Chains A and B, each alone.
Chain A
Amino acid sequence: MDADATPLLAVRDLTIALPVGGRMVNIIDSVSFTLGAREILGIVGESGSGKSMTALALMGLIDAPGARITGSARFKGRELVGLPQRAFRTLRGREIAMIFQDPMTAFTPVYTVGWQIDEQIRAHGRVTRKDARARTIRLLGDMGVPDPARVADRYPHQLSGGLRQRAMIAMALSCNPSLLIADEPTTALDVTVQAQILDLLRRLRREYGSSVLLITHDMGVVAETCDRTMVLYSGTIAERGPTGAVFARPGHPYTAALLDSIPPLHGARPARLPSIPGSPPAPADRPAGCPFTPRCAYAHDACAVRPPLLPRGVQDIACVLPAEGRDLPARCVTV
């Protein structure tokens, strides 16, 4: 389980550019990370930060006209950037599977949930219908679906949101993928059901040995689920590191401000919530230097140059403050 020796996924300088108003604009700008076996990496950011775009690129699902993807993403040593669709088709589902926020769009409404999971199993291996169904029922049961044989005969709209999400995870795991990409998998769910699904995701690595790339806007979900955390802002990495370290001692002013703006559930109520002024820039309007400069409380002259991602302790931080000897204070939290 040594993540550094042979990472399952090694992404280097991944850049995705789209034509906007006659010029190419980098939606994702030089994003690099690795994901080890049985690891859960959280990619967290606000809307427009590029977190979903990163996932779609890894799945070979970016089909916007004129899109240009550069850099490298090596999955089990195989280069994904520039891989032809035909080759992607053998990877998707079998090696890399994805679950989405809205299971209604992942399932077709006209077949039963069980039929669709059987189909996925049979598409990637020589399995009889009977064996496929047996496996489907076992998977649904593993995902905590009560009475899985009956649920397999239901249509997606007949299931509750939580059951549908479990069925989608069962479908994603049906071919034992080594990488599961989960894009906001619990955002549409109620909080008690979300807790069940997060519990399930944590169990997956133990019981299925899967690595998970968890994409979310919710810092709480990351804190409860991920081994390591990568914070994206405006298409670039602001900070990454072990989740415990990032949450205890955020190194980038954006991470710190984002955590501060979440109202606390325990302890004293602040009279006002610390908020971040303004909103993230559109990709075409990003400032030349650090993209967070216009909203940052620590902005100064040095921020006019894009800061590289540099190690600071166990974290990597794209900010000039650590080099200036001005580390941010540790977070105080009440539980």
Chain B
Amino acid sequence: MTAPLIEAQSLRMEYRVGRGQVLRALDGVSLAVRPGEVLGLVGESGCGKSTLGRCLLRLARPTAGRVVFDGTDITALSERTLRPLRQGMQMVFQDSYASLNPRRRIGDLIAEPLRVHRDGQGRRRTAADIAARLAELMALVGLPQAALARYPHEFSGGQRQRINIARALALSPRLVVADEPVSALDVSIQAQIVNLFMDLRDRLGLTYVFVAHDLAVVRQISTRVAVMYLGAIVELGDADTVLHRPAHPYTAALIAAVPEPVVLPDGDRAPPLRGDVPSPIAPPPGCRFHTRCPIAQDRCRTDPPALRDPGDGRQVACHFPLAGG
């Protein structure tokens, strides 16, 4: 087994939200992503998937726990010592428009990281170096060279996401964290961008952490999947294992709730999960899913289950994991 490229060890992230209350966005999350893997992070709003993505890139500093990137503990590094490492880790956001300065040309926006960071020999890049790299990047993400002279508003959502990807790739990172990068796009465009992510991974040997709420998109792109609920991982394993034979009742409910573009007879629909996700300020005791779990028993109300391997290589935090299938 190769060493992980990025690793989270018992990460905790707490926010003070007034009146002495603490919102625990991450409550002891551990995971490792090996080079070339695509880890899909799924879960409903407020489950902590975006916070985890931000902590992995040290865009947020966790309250406790460690983040190790390529063998280096980056949890407590200062911004200055972190900067050279940042070249190796980049982020793509959901809102393709908000992440591009509307008053600057595409060429300037993508050149920015090339101007800020020095090249492999510690030298500043020349204008010619930058121009050559910009041309390469445009070809890589499937945009015409003429796009470099234009402004963000002149592009459609899908094209703007290509621009964001080009900027994220400018410094040849090894790790890209993408936070809901296709959720704001129309379906026909979404497929183009998902394909682009997959092509780039194959061509450049990239490693992704792909944060998304759309299970079908996550299954398409991920090699492994982590399902989160209220700040903790409830199931983690091979994408096909987890999504085809879920062991955690929450994963199963999540999959059953996805409306599929197939017409089924009325009776074939599983009853939806009851209630809403509880507040992360006052999570339920015991298993945090017990308030909505269709198979919860007394033990689940008091005894929080730890992540463990039910015997097929995945990890499940459930006292009564489903047989899987």
Interface residues of A (CB under 8 A from B): 46-47, 146, 160-163, 190-196, 198-199, 217-225, 243-244, 247-248, 257-259, 261-266, 269-270, 272-277, 279-280, 333, 335
Which residues 8-46 in B have Cβ within 8 Å of A in the complex? Answer: 44-45
Residues of B within 8 A of A243 (CB): 263
Interface size on B, residues (CB 8 A): 44
Residue contact A163 to B276, C-beta cutoff 8 Å: yes
B187 within 8 A of A: yes
Say if the beta carbon of B295 comes within 8 Å of chain A: no
Contact B186 A335 (CB under 8 A): no
Taking each of B44, B220, B272, B274, which has the highest tally of chain A beta carbons within 10 Å of its own beta carbon?
Answer: B272
Contact B219 A265 (CB under 8 A): yes
**Nearest-Cβ distance from residue B274 to partner chain A, whole angstroms:** 8
A209 to chain B minimum Cβ distance, whole angstroms, is 18
Return the chain A residue nearest B221 by Cβ: A263
Contact of B194 among A162, A266, A273 (CB under 8 A): A273
The answer to whether A192 and B257 touch across the interface, beta carbons within 8 angstroms, is: yes
User: Of all chain B residues, which has the CB nearest A248?
Assistant: B263
Q: How far is the CA of A259 from the CA of B191 in the complex (A)?
A: 11
| Nearest Cβ on chain B to A255's Cβ, whole angstroms | 10
B74 is an interface residue with CB less than 8 A from chain A: no
Q: How close is B23's CB to chain A, nearest CB, in angstroms? A: 15
Chain A min CB distance to B281 (Å): 13
Question: Across the interface, do B219 and A160 meet the contact criterion of CB distance under 8 Å?
Answer: no
Q: How far is the CA of A221 from the CA of B220 in the complex (A)?
A: 20
- A196, A247, A273, A279: the one within 8 Å of B261 (CB): A247
Bound CA span A104–B224, Å: 36
User: What residues on A are CB-neighbors of B215 within 8 Å?
Assistant: 191, 265
Set of chain B residues within 8 Å of A259, measured between Cβ atoms: 261
How far is the CB of B227 from the nearest CB of chain A, in Å? 12
CB <8 Å contact, A273 and B260: no
Q: Is the CB of B259 within 8 A of A220?
A: yes
B273 engages A195 (CB within 8 Å): yes
Q: For residue A248, which residues in chain B have a CB less than 8 angstroms away from its CB?
A: 263
> Which residues of B (178-198) have their CB < 8 Å from a CB of A?
186-192, 194-195, 198
Query: Is B269's CB under 8 angstroms from A224's CB?
Result: yes
A280 CA / B258 CA spacing, docked (Å): 26
Contact of B259 among A46, A163, A223, A277 (CB under 8 A): A223
Q: Which of A225, A265, A277, A280 contacts B216 (CB 8 A)?
A: A265
**A276–B258 touching, CB < 8 Å:** no
At the interface, yes or no: B174 with Cβ under 8 Å from chain A?
no
Given A192-B272, A263-B220 in contact, is the A335-B45 Cβ separation under 8 Å? no
Can you list 29 A-B contacts (CB < 8 A)?
Answer: A162-B276, A190-B44, A191-B44, A191-B213, A191-B257, A192-B272, A192-B273, A193-B276, A194-B257, A195-B273, A196-B274, A199-B272, A220-B260, A221-B259, A223-B261, A244-B263, A259-B261, A263-B216, A265-B260, A269-B220, A270-B220, A272-B198, A275-B188, A275-B191, A279-B156, A280-B186, A335-B260, A335-B262, A335-B264
